[in-house]
Structure 1
Amino acid sequence: MNLNLAEMAQGAFMEQFNIELKKVLANIADPNTDPKKARKITLTATLKADENRDVVDFEVQSKASLIPAKPIATKIILDRDKDGSVVAAELKSGVKGQTFLDDDGQVKDDTGKVVNFNKK
């Protein structure tokens, strides 16, 4: 037999595999994915002969199985405004109603708005 997958279709099969390999390596390098979970590259070869069985259509398809990004969580505060409509904001302080010091050194309320202590 005189067939070499790396040389068939002018190297397109291996090129297709390398494209999927790059996707897998980028997925492994992504800090938002679990580095310990296995990724896969599947090569599917499909061969279909003609009626005389002397010519065979040969297709190779490669497919990467990637790991999804880890979920990112936050908390949302729900309340109602004076009209009774639901309002929501991201909870930034960790506890509803609690103020906190931001990275800038500013005091902010639980939704991240700057607290003005000089109000009269």
Structure 2
Amino acid sequence: MNININTLAGGAVAEQIKNELQRIADNVLDPNTSAVANRTLTIKLTIKPDKDRQSAAVDTQVTASLASREGVPSRFVFDYDNQGNGVVAELLTQQDRNQMMMNNAGAVVDGTGAAPEGLKNVVNGVFR
């Protein structure tokens, strides 16, 4: 056999391998992916012979299978606004959305970070 992968398709296959290996290296070094997940490099040659069986058209594909990025945890809360429309907000604490807290500015806010509407005074820990 006189097939050299470095010169196959005028060197285009070797270039594709190099590019996909670079993608794999970047993925391995990405701190948002699993360090130990498998990555694969696939070289696929599709060979379609002519009717006379003397030559064939060859299509080459080089693909990489990468580790997916790990999920980033968060929480949403769902409720209705004053007009009855459904709304969503990110829960800023891992607590109940009705749990009050103080923000960095010292203001009292609910679990979504919003100031409680219509509640201005706190008496014995209860908004009035």
Q: TM-score range by the shorter chain?
A: 0.7 to 0.9
Distance in 1 (CA, whole Å) between partners of 2:49 and 2:87 is 65
Distance in 1 (CA, whole Å) between partners of 2:51 and 2:82 is 78
- Hey, what does 1:23 align to over in structure 2? 23
Query: Residue deviations 1:28-67, cap 9 Å, x none?
Result: 2222211211011111112222223222322221111122
Query: Residue deviations 1:81-111, cap 9 Å, x none?
Result: 333333332110222223145xxx4335222
Q: Which of 94, 98, 101 is matched with 1:99 structurally?
A: 101
- Check conservation: 1:5, 1:14, Cα contact below 8 A: yes
- SS at 1:78's partner residue? strand
Distance in 1 (CA, whole Å) between partners of 2:46 and 2:70 is 35
Distance in 2 (CA, whole Å) between partners of 1:60 and 1:78 is 50
How high is the sequence identity, in percent, across the aligned residues?
Answer: 31
Q: Give how far 1:113 is off.
A: 4.2
**Consecutive unaligned residues in structure 2, runs of 5 or more:** 122-128
Distance in 2 (CA, whole Å) between partners of 1:77 and 1:92 is 10
More off after superposition, 106-115 vs 71-80? 106-115
- Hey, what does 1:3 align to over in structure 2? 3
**Consecutive unaligned residues in structure 1, runs of 5 or more:** none
Distance in 2 (CA, whole Å) between partners of 1:88 and 1:8 is 55
- Hey, what does 1:111 align to over in structure 2? 112
Normalising by the residue count of structure 1, what TM-score does the alignment of the two structures yield? 0.76
- Hey, what does 1:61 align to over in structure 2? 61
Q: Give how far 1:13 is off.
A: 0.8
Change (3 A) 1:80 1:43: same
- Check conservation: 1:45, 1:60, Cα contact below 8 A: yes
Distance in 2 (CA, whole Å) between partners of 1:2 and 1:55 is 15
